[in-house]
A and B are shown apart, each in its own frame.
Chain A
Amino acid sequence: MDAQARRDLYRMMVLIRTFEEAILREYHADKKPVFDIGAGAIPGEMHLSAGQEPVAAGVCAHLTTDDAVTATHRPHHLAIAHGVDLRRMAAEIFGRVDGLGRGRGGHMHLFDPDTHFSCSGIIAEGYPPAVGQALAFHRRGTDRVAVAVTGEGAANQGGFHESLNLASLWKLPVVFVVEDNDWGISVPRSASTCVTSNAVRAAGYDMPGERVEENSVEAVHEAAGRAVARARAGEGPSLLEVHTLRLWGHFEGDAQAYRTDLEGVPGRDPIPTYEQQLRADGVLGDEDVRAARQDAGERVEDAIAFARKSAEPAPESATEYVFA
């Protein structure tokens, strides 16, 4: 991979992390001293994606905004990497009128027709619509692809398996991605899943399956490149599992008392690891790092300021948008 492409992957991961850190700050700012999930400028559940940036950056680097991405309850990294507008995304997370869903959806329900991005809070239920988006792309004779992402916990849900079968049967341009962060809330992968790699499940649906064992953006990029190319060439779907990392709690406010692997977690942060690698390869210098952080900081703070300035939806409008 050329130096610029590597720096771009790095910059995307920094942008995602900067966004998540800002949401973390804003989310907790007015929930003190006693945490109240419904209080503050950003209320409700908050599932942040820190640690999983390699998946988003590595996969979405192969896509344009004509391709579709369906994500989960933990959607921010994928939305950002796929090019969803930061301002309108932040405004939706704040529940404001300029948000992607005019404040109706919230952080688990980001819908952006401009980039064909969507997500769902119901586990595995982003898989079936991706199959349908791929069907539409295929029928219209385009080479556009649909990428469906879930967690490893979701790979035990019926919708996951039904979608794999359907996409394979109809030979549709779908890339199924599994983010294996070892945990489904408090349940470790070993207690939820009968196989050590979801890649082996792909064989049951007659499609290629690959597991990337390292939480490395370049390894993801390489494997995703194969799957996306296959889909674009009309050869059908693939499954890609990435062994990634849940750097923070399942959601904000999660004390993680159940978590047995916490001690080693900070040392597994993929961003410093990649930064060191790029420095060692002479691809990234102090100035690049500074610029990446500054640019990300400016874009993210601009988005947060935009969200804060946007109005709260008027109560009288509460029953709007049920029907077209």
Chain B
Amino acid sequence: MTVTDAPAPSRRKLTTAKAMVEAIAQEMDRDPDVFVLGEDVGAYGGIFSSTTGLLDRFGPERIIDTPISETAFIGAAIGAAVEGMRPIVELMFVDFFGVCMDQIYNHMAKIHFESGGNVRVPMVLTTAVGGGYSDGAQHSQCLWGTFAHLPGMKIVVPSTPADAKGLMVSAIRDDNPVVYMFHKGVMGLPWMAKNPRSLAPVPEEEYEVPIGKASVVRSGRDVTIVTLSLSVHRALDVADELAADGVECEVVDLRSLVPLDTDTILESVGRTGRLLVVDEDYLSYGLSGEVIARVAERDPALLTVPPVRVCVPDVPIPYARSLEYAVLPTADRIRDGVRRLVGA
């Protein structure tokens, strides 16, 4: 069964990681062209549990551990996709994009265009993003703005287990390259501090969550918080807390960056007149500026007060906890942002 957008309610709870794996397994059962490759995706099950159990179920022909040769194996996934297979290829941390970005943006993202639409590249590039556990400047970035800036790849960023499953199904079935970015902090890993929202109901059957559709995860009349990934969890926590003070936040989980659901953002800002963008990526030249530009382009009068951004200032993610938490979009910073907007 294929449900679109509104899966049947379920009481079975899964972590985001398990929901992601379930989607891959169900698609692999359905479609023999789907296979997985990447570093430590086999016996280890993915450093962040994105492929746990798949090797036992599907064997080493379809769950392939690669050498540490990202250019070669991501390029190989592109080639296989061009020939009609549907590879899921993992870049262990998005921070490692530097050693393989040519295959990603000059090939994966451009082949369809350069071929005048004659060659399709139906593949999923999964990658772990985000900080918060002192992994330092080369293992803690989000960088979705960098990818979203480059035309030709869809970008999805789930924050909940149910969306993680539905977006994975959609990504695998999509005829375009889809970059699937999962924050380590939403995966529900036993060895990392986590928000309770990383364990939630997930329907057992297969369903798609449409790519390019944001989700209003909380309604509120006063402030629109546009955000994504782990920051959705934090924004919801802050919204619940501020509701006690009579400030009602509406939280928009973007879920997809490419395409970006501008309409949902505009509708919400139209209701609240106040916009806060919360982004764990760098401040300048990125997602937060893009969201505000889209509003300003359509109708700057929607905003009754200037918009506020809570992002990582333009500094690499520091190692020391005291410094890292000074630059991450913490609950404190989100709360301050909302207060500034409502003048409290």
Contact = CB atoms under 8 A, between A and B. Distances in A.
B99 A187 contact: no
B319 A103 contact: yes
A154 B192 CA distance: 27
B325 A122 contact: no
Interface in A100-152: 101, 103-109, 120-125
Contacts of A96: 320
A44 B321 CA distance: 10
Prevailing SS type, chain A contact patch: loop
Contacts of B319: 44, 95, 101, 103-106, 109
B96 A122 contact: yes
User: How extensive is the interface on chain B, given as a class?
Assistant: 35 or more
A258 B44 contact: yes
Nearest to B71: A158
Contacts of A108: 136, 138-139
B198 to A, nearest CB: 14
B148 to A, nearest CB: 22
Contacts of A103: 318-320, 322-323
Interface stretch (A220-228, A267-275, A308-316): A308-316
Contact of B322 (A38, A313, A319): A313
A317 interface: yes
A297 interface: no
A157 B65 contact: no
Nearest to B92: A185
B261 to A, nearest CB: 32
Given A125-B99, A157-B69, A322-B314, A44 B133 contact: yes
B137 interface: yes
B98 A122 contact: yes
Contact of A318 (B65, B70, B326): B326
B193 interface: yes
A318 B47 CA distance: 29
A317 B40 CA distance: 37
B59 to A, nearest CB: 14
A318 B327 contact: yes
A317 B67 CA distance: 40
Given A105-B319, A159-B99, A192-B67, A121 B313 contact: no
Contacts of B99: 122-125, 157-159
A318 B318 CA distance: 7
Given A157-B99, A159-B99, A258-B43, A95 B67 contact: no
B316 interface: yes
A96 B189 CA distance: 28
A285 interface: no
A127 B139 CA distance: 19
Contacts of B301: none
B215 interface: no
B237 interface: no
Contacts of A105: 136-137, 319
Contacts of A20: none
Contact of B327 (A35, A191, A319): A319
B135 interface: yes
Contacts of A312: 320-322
Contact of B313 (A37, A104, A319): A319
Contacts of B244: none
A266 interface: no
Interface of A: 34-39, 43-45, 95-96, 101, 103-109, 120-125, 153-154, 156-159, 184-187, 191-193, 253, 257-258, 312-319, 322
30 contacts: A38-B192, A38-B321, A39-B193, A43-B321, A45-B139, A103-B318, A103-B322, A106-B319, A107-B136, A109-B136, A122-B96, A122-B98, A124-B99, A156-B69, A157-B68, A157-B99, A158-B71, A159-B99, A184-B39, A184-B67, A184-B68, A186-B44, A187-B65, A192-B67, A258-B43, A312-B320, A313-B320, A318-B313, A318-B318, A319-B314
The 6 closest A-B pairs by CB, nearest first: A38-B133, A106-B319, A95-B320, A103-B320, A44-B134, A43-B134
